[in-house]
Copies of this chain bind each other. A is one copy, B any other.
């Protein structure tokens, strides 16, 4: 580290961005909360970089605002990045680290896209890069994975990491709303962005899943390596069918090594049927919840509000205290991720039970033909229920034992070719165990 804090000089904190999260951070930094006492050293906010100086920002001293973010980061001990998005956040963070500043960021999209570059720069410059706020709001999950469980072996990280989609699926489940109506309601209430793509297509959850996978399995997996399905095609019929069978549909993120080759980490985000008795089935509204299963600690669950200005600001401030303490002591947290031998598994290799609903001709021999398709793809059927039927066709609800996701998909592709037997759409979901 080329910057050392002089005995009485305050720690200079530069803030980048002053939106929803940033304005909460700024107000907490500038008022009340006495972080210096926890750090054992004075702290000084040197400035807040914004795009437009003339926007009204109640409670924030306008003299602190600047559009010159480069000068601001060049003269900082710690940079708090709450701009979001890739640029200019990436360039400014790299510049700050090159100047010897430690970083606190809430930016999952940036870390999921450019994590390896940023971790390498932090290590090369001997600075900290903390990002508790990037996953699941104020729920402490990064620190437990990076520090508390570092002497354990993590077997699986799984959970609900996007509050917007959880809210939408909750509304569809509880009031029978269509996806479009539930999305509209979420937008009306401010739980969804005007452009909801990042949430409803699963990009946000995939970014978080990549961070959880990287920390849990000490590797570097990018957001676009995550197998991803959003919730836009989930129908109320699917939700009703799931409920009939004792499940609720949740957008789950999951990371775990393949049994067949633990150096390959299967990471996916997809709408999943979760048993009603499972704790994740009872995570409602905008809440997030993350399960960590480890060799010795067993199954741990962390739950709380997954987003929002105040929770995210709480996580940023917790990180800021630690990073500032480390600065004063002249140390930094060693890297917990490396670009070692573990890598993302091929999407088809993910193992899961599956649910397949299909409408078939109600005639003898049909089930045998369908079963033989699954068998040919090494997919073992667990249960078959016949649902609503009319004179000529019946709905089959099929669940499988734990199978390769690719084999399930191949089975479905082949089933679609049996047009004399299979009518209409085939619905496929992953199914979570108890």
Contacts and interface: CB of A to CB of B under 8 A. Distances in A.
Interface string A252-271: 00000000000000000000
A262 to B, nearest CB: 14
A123 to B, nearest CB: 11
Given A296-B310, A298-B304, A298-B311, A317 B151 contact: yes
Interface string A289-306: 000001111111111110
B138 A298 contact: yes
Interface stretch (A140-148, A167-175, A238-246): A140-148
Among A39, A148, A298, the one with the most B-chain Cβ atoms within 10 Å of its Cβ is: A148
A313 B151 CA distance: 9
Nearest to A29: B151
Contacts of A279: 282, 303
A299 B40 CA distance: 28
Interface stretch (A94-102, A329-337, A347-355, A376-384): A329-337
Interface string A139-159: 110011001111111000000
B302 A24 contact: no
A297 B302 contact: no
Interface stretch (A11-19, A193-201, A319-327): A319-327
A318 B152 contact: yes
Given A24-B296, A315-B148, A321-B150, A140 B139 contact: no
A132 interface: yes
A57 interface: no
A33 interface: yes
A336 B298 contact: no
A314 interface: yes
A38 interface: yes
A28 interface: yes
A124 to B, nearest CB: 15
Contacts of A22: none
Nearest to A25: B151
A320 B151 CA distance: 8
Contact of A311 (B297, B305, B310): B297
Contacts of A320: 151
A301 B298 CA distance: 17
A185 interface: no
A151 to B, nearest CB: 3
A137 B317 CA distance: 27
Given A40-B334, A282-B279, A318-B148, A299 B305 contact: yes
A373 interface: no
A138 B297 contact: yes
B140 A148 contact: yes
Nearest to A322: B147
Nearest to A329: B331
9 contacts: A137-B297, A140-B143, A143-B143, A295-B314, A296-B317, A297-B304, A297-B311, A298-B311, A329-B330
Given A138-B296, A297-B305, A301-B301, 4 more contacts: A38-B336, A138-B300, A150-B318, A297-B314
The 8 closest A-B pairs by CB, nearest first: A151-B317, A138-B297, A296-B314, A300-B304, A140-B148, A297-B314, A329-B331, A140-B144
